[in-house]
Chain A
Amino acid sequence: MDELDILKKDWNSDKSSYREYTDSEIAPMLHKKSSSIVKTLFYISIAELFLWIIISALPYFLSDDMRDRMEKSYENPLFITLTVIGFVVIFAFIYLLFKSYRSISTTDNTKKLMESILKTRKVIKYYVIYNLAMVFVSIPLSLYFEFNENIEFHDQVAAFNPKQMVVMAGIIVVMMVVFFVLLLLFYRLIYGVLLKRLNRNYKELKRLEV
């Protein structure tokens, strides 16, 4: 008889008594708040959605000057295209997120459940990557437009000597890198903490299949 069989005998005996809940104790439990990782993931995705919408809309509401300039820039087909793409992506994100949340089911087998959760996390990841890419595209793009449209800025930059040009380019690159690294750390932290156990268990299950 091996160890587990000894354990089994005890496990199925009535010796180990648990606190038995009555019907009236169980009923209120159904309506308590869940603290599952899926729920947390859902809140994070909603926060992501609004965060990026707010970030992209902020300049428009923040200053009249910016608004005028942005309205002017909509005469440019490139900006119109980018805006349309932006809206399409937001709607696609909402749809994909909705779809992947619907596919998370506790009645699936453990591996499939983990895969559905990881897939949802991927949808959020791609949305963030898209937004980051847009930030990186829009900074040089807006500088380029400033250069062409804003005479003051144009004259200033044109008067730069090569050394000053290098410094300016350096500052822009450093700022972008710092921004990127900070965001990366931030995301690593949230998803790292939230999904650490899931990732570990998923790896364990995958390892069995090799």
Chain B
Amino acid sequence: MNKELEHSFVEQLQKHQNIVHKVCRLYTNNQDAHNDLFQEITIQLWRAYPKFRGDSKFSTWMYRVGLNTAITLYRKRKRSIKTTEFENVQFKIKADEYDDTEDQQLNLLYQAVQQLNDIEKALVFLYLEDKDYREISGTLGISEVNARVKMNRVKKKLRTILNP
């Protein structure tokens, strides 16, 4: 692949790298894993780039490849770290009372999201990124109605995690 293509790709990715970081934030829970997933998503984006035609926005296209990589393709998992951190999270939520302070609440919310499964996280991610149900259903390959139903279930699940 020629240098020009590489240059334009790097330039665009640099500009929109926050999207990749956000995917990594949801699907990993330590800095090493975050960097590792960032690396893998970058490779997958670059591989798919020749097929990227300007008919959709670069950022929209990134959501798809990024989520697909995080949910389906990514293999390197640091299991031991994941399980211990996961246990800590559960312990913490049970131990702490729901606090009024905004930061505390946000912290608990992020921890609760970490406990969702891969598909639920994808729904949350797209929701947080302000995507409508048409785009959510298109990205995941489910119907719009089912995306809506699932989203409501995810919200309910989050509430249960936060108020056991």
Contact = CB atoms under 8 A, between A and B. Distances in A.
A110 B67 contact: yes
Q: Chain A interface residue count: which class? A: 35 or more
A109 B139 contact: yes
Contacts of A34: 40, 43-44, 47
A109 B48 contact: no
B61 A107 contact: yes
A37 interface: yes
Is chain B's interface secondary structure helix, strand, loop, or mixed overall?
helix
Given A4-B124, A7-B113, A113 B68 contact: yes
B130 A109 contact: no
Contact of A114 (B72, B113, B127): B72
Nearest to B141: A111
B71 A7 contact: no
Contacts of B150: 208
Interface of A: 2-4, 6-8, 10-12, 16, 18-23, 26-27, 29-30, 32, 34-38, 40, 105-114, 117, 194, 197-198, 200-201, 204-205, 208-209
The 7 A-B residue pairs whose C-beta atoms are closest, nearest first, are A111-B141, A109-B141, A18-B21, A36-B73, A30-B46, A11-B128, A29-B42
Interface of B: 6, 9-11, 13-14, 17-18, 21-22, 25, 39-40, 42-44, 46-48, 51-52, 61, 64-65, 67-69, 71-76, 105-106, 109-110, 112-113, 117-119, 122, 124, 127-130, 138-143, 146, 149-150, 155, 158-159, 162
